[in-house]
Amino acid sequence: VPEAVDHSRIRPYGDHLDDGLVQVSFSLPVPYALSAREAALEIGRKMQLEEPEVVHYQRLCDGYTYFVLYGRCRPTVDVTELRRGAFEIEYMSEHEINSYVAEHIGRPIVVVGASTGTDTHSVGIDAILNMKGVDGRHGLEAYPGFRVHNFGSQVPNARLVAEAIEVDADAILVSQTVTQQSLHLHNLTELVEIVEAEGIRDQVLLICGGARLSNELAKELGYDAGFFKGTYPNHVGTFIARELKARRDLTATEASAVEMTT
């Protein structure tokens, strides 16, 4: 099948390739009635879905109805364009990551993590780092290719940096429940600044995670990657392993200003 796919113009499919079939589900604040079904179809049309079809609808409670719609989506996306020169990682499984680390790094990768500053929410960092992991997938602690130090929540930035230097960490993971109040963000930037002040910025990968984070925000904050809702330990593990290898290769070729310009 993959040979037949034109990656410069992909669209969703259901029954056969390129048919554009999508399923959307939503609720409307209207009573469970025939007119509700009409309203849902109209929403589908306004979403530019071709041939919208209500395949399921049910009463939620008085005055509210839930819908499942099928429809065809015409626009396409050029994935090759998105991949070129962009931040891209193809996720590996737990097993693949461990073999990759054994082959390319040759020792376990040392990771420290915490919820820093005043943040008490350790659920995110625990899901990624703790043995138990999340949703049936192991956390990095369970990977033979990783040595994990999880310092829990409310860890001052300076202390986390001191610990990272102490254990010679390859990566520092911080979890923040980011809100519009920039206090949380200031806490994230402070960690970057302390790491830079201690002169180890180029020796560690800085990774932040949180419900409202994105790679764009991570870039502004000065991190090497930002992870968000829907992230599993192997996603983070893949990034750390691949990026460490890439940076080793870069140091090996001694990329310098002189070389850049010649």
- Is 209 a binding residue for another protein by CB under 8 A? The answer is no
CA 131 to chain centre: 20
Among 11, 156, 177, 228, binds another protein (CB under 8 A): 156
Site for another protein in 226-245 (CB under 8 A): 226, 243
H-run or E-run covering 247 = helix 233-252
* 192 touches 175 (CB < 8 A): no
- Is 261 a binding residue for another protein by CB under 8 A? The answer is yes
Q: How many CB atoms lie within 10 A of CB 188?
A: 28
Q: How far apart (Å, rounded) are the C-alpha atoms in residues 231 and 135?
A: 11
Find the shortest distance in angstroms from Cβ 91 to another protein. 16
Find the shortest distance in angstroms from Cβ 229 to another protein. 16
Residue 150 pairs in a beta bridge with 113
Q: Which two tokens stand for residue 241?
A: 């392993």
Among 198, 228, 235, 245, binds another protein (CB under 8 A): 198
Listed ranges 22-30, 107-115, 123-131, 248-256: which one lies at the site for another protein (CB under 8 A): 248-256
- Is 202 a binding residue for another protein by CB under 8 A? The answer is yes
* 95 touches 50 (CB < 8 A): no
In angstroms, the Cα distances linking 154 to 68, 126, 212 are 43, 13, 19
46 is catalytic: no
- Is 15 a binding residue for another protein by CB under 8 A? The answer is no
Among 33, 55, 77, 255, binds another protein (CB under 8 A): 255
Q: How far apart (Å, rounded) are the C-alpha atoms in residues 92 and 73?
A: 30
Among 97, 101, 185, 236, binds another protein (CB under 8 A): 185
Residue 165 has phi, psi (to 5 degrees) of: -70, -40
Is the CB of 34 or the CB of 260 nearer to another protein?
Answer: 260
Binding-site ranges for another protein (CB under 8 A)? 81, 84-87, 156, 158-159, 161-162, 165-166, 180, 182, 185-186, 189-190, 192-194, 196-199, 201-202, 214-226, 243, 246-247, 250, 253, 255-257, 260-261
Q: Which residues are catalytic?
A: 132
